[in-house]
Amino acid sequence: MTTRRWAAAIGGLAMTVAVTACADNGDATESDLGSSGSQMLESGAESESLAGYSTEEVAAYDDAVAALERNLEVGLSVYHEGLATPAAYRALATVYTGEELADEWENLRNMDAADGYLDGSATVVWTKPIRILVSDAAGTVDLKACIDRSQMRAFTRDGGEIGNEGAFKRAVFQVTIDLGKGHTWRVAGGEEIGTC
């Protein structure tokens, strides 16, 4: 089973462009972007799901959610440009770490090579904690997040819209956000696990 990593969260990002370009060559199809075995998850109030956590854990969770929102904002800005430049890499490095940064950079390079870009917006609809670990020097927050990507679209620079409506939907992601270098929270991993 193929999972959709967090690097695809902002609407398939470069995957939308790259897979569509491959489909033109007979190498892939739109169904390659779909997630299998999706389950429906009810949205709920974040405050109710934080009962029982310490003040420090709640603060870490709030910081991690803010980092997730910043991740979407920076990612959308970078993918709106669609160019794999050193400045774009530095921007991505402020919101991603580890393998997710490598995956995101590869996605952007694919989008740039396909002469594509994204337009629109994505928002965090709700979040729920799974695990919160904090210490004096480090922290990890695992959470579920419903991301609404229905206002996004992918285009090629020659003006054509890449018609893959299935990639631009609301979906639930399980995301790991780590407190690391520079005492900054960054997305370290994640995958699409359902719809919302």
Indicate whether 102 belongs to any domain: yes
- What CATH number is attached to the domain comprising 50? 3.10.450
Indicate whether 1 belongs to any domain: no
Number of domains forming the structure of the chain: 1
Indicate whether 120 belongs to any domain: yes
Contact of 6 with 191, CB cutoff 8 Å:
yes
**What residue spans of 82-177 are helical by DSSP H?**
86-93, 98-113
What confidence category does residue 38 fall into, taking pLDDT thresholds of 50, 70 and 90?
very low
Q: What is the pLDDT of residues 143-173, one digit of tens each?
A: 999 999 988 888 898 877 776 666 778 999 9
Please, what's the b/e burial string for 95-131 (b: 16 or more CB within 10 A of its CB; e: otherwise)? bbbeebbebbbebbbbbbebebbbeeebebebbbbee
The dihedral through the CA atoms of 15, 18, 21, 23 has a sign that is negative
CA 108 – CA 19 distance, rounded (Å)? 13
Q: Decide the pairing of beta strands 139-148 and 161-162.
A: unpaired
Indicate whether 35 belongs to any domain: no
**pTM (predicted TM-score):** 0.78
Residue ranges making up the domain that contains 151 = 6-26+43-195
